[in-house]
Amino acid sequence: MADQAHGAGSGKGHTIEVGAGAEHVRVVRDGQVLAESRRPVLLFETGLPVRYYLPAEDVRTELLTVSDTHTYCPFKGTASYWSLPGGGKDAVWAYPDPKPKVAEIKGMFCFYDVEIVRN
């Protein structure tokens, strides 16, 4: 599933590709597993590292603290943020109502730091 997103001006040539991943992804902080999934959605965006979006059911949301931070991306929409236990302000985000071209990430959580488990 490859989509190309174009905005006015600076968005020309900007691409976003979204697809199902087969990786085993784990998020650990201070020895505590915050998320673990074998069904990530991968988002490839021009100029950024690949991002792993994890289903809410695979994230220990009870350990996250809601943040007041919200950001807007012309290609993905408005993101909401959460902080991690013991710090890590705004280290987790989600798009509750993403743009149609990236609809697959709706309600999924993305962490800045993930571990890919190689079995």
Which residues lie across from 41 on neighbouring strands? 20, 53
pLDDT of residue 119: 59
Give the pLDDT confidence of 14-65 residue by residue, as tens digits.
899 999 999 999 999 888 899 999 999 999 999 999 999 999 999 999 999 9
pTM for the complete prediction?
0.86
Burial classification of residue 110, based on how many CB atoms lie within 10 Å of its CB (0-12 exposed, 13-18 middle, 19 or more buried): buried
Structure tokens at 1: 């599933």
pLDDT of residue 11: 63
Q: What are φ and ψ of residue 113, in 5° steps?
A: -115, 120
